[in-house]
Amino acid sequence: ACYSSSLQFTVFIECKDYLWFSYGHLSPLFCYCFSVAAFPGGQIVGNKVFITSGYEGNFDDLKQRCLQAGGQLASPRNAAENTAIQQIVVLYKKSVFLGITDIQSEGKFKYLNGEAIVYSNWQQGEPNDEKGRENCVEVYGNGKWNDRSCGEKKLILCEF
Ligand code: IPD
Ligand code: CA
């Protein structure tokens, strides 16, 4: 799955160069971690990796692209993961959509697998479902969350 995605392919190109020149004995796992850490749009938290390619699109588009890459939209389950996401938002100066929606049942935010969220970081006054049209979740530069229309275009951020 790693080699089938354009997102990860970029990472592995850097990775191969790195291996070729200096670390030929390292396993692909080490190689992957070094490369992600060196990639400006990449963050590692525990055993989770967040990567953006810089692409922007609406929620369905981004969700599909992360799936195709063998991952899913960023779905923070704790403050450390949320901080890693925030750092990418700040670096790119663009908000991202999380893999969290209340599309199924208004006001009940869930991960894409249907599980109720275990962590949240809502901006004060959010989620407000403005005009009854906000079922997706964006992350601001301050790390806080806002429910937002899924049709808006946001920066892609996948987790692996
Ligand atoms: C809105 C505001 C509001 C938030 C909405 C946004 P807009 O921005 O930021 O506080 O709850 O989700 O759409 O549409 O007035 O630029
Ligand atoms: Ca809102």
The residue whose CA is least distant from atom 3 of ligand 1 is: 130
Q: pLDDT (tens digit, 9 = 90+) per residue, 37-89?
A: 667 788 888 878 899 999 999 999 999 999 998 899 999 999 999 999 999 99
- What pTM, to 2 d.p., does this model score? 0.83
**How do the residues of the chain divide into helix, strand and coil, expressed in percent and rounded to 5?**
35, 20, 45
Question: Model ipTM?
Answer: 0.94
Rg (CA), the chain: 16
Q: pLDDT (tens digit, 9 = 90+) per residue, 61-73?
A: 999 999 998 899 9
142 lines ligand 1 (CB under 6 A): no
Q: Which of 89, 145, 149, 140 is nearest to 119 (CA)?
A: 145
35 lines ligand 1 (CB under 6 A): no
The contacts of residue 67 (CB under 8 Å, 6+ apart) are none
**pLDDT for the residue numbered 28:** 58
**Tell me, what amino acid is at 61?**
D
Residue 65, φ and ψ in degrees, nearest 5: -65, -40
Average pLDDT rounded to a whole number, residues 139-153: 98
**pLDDT for the residue numbered 14:** 40
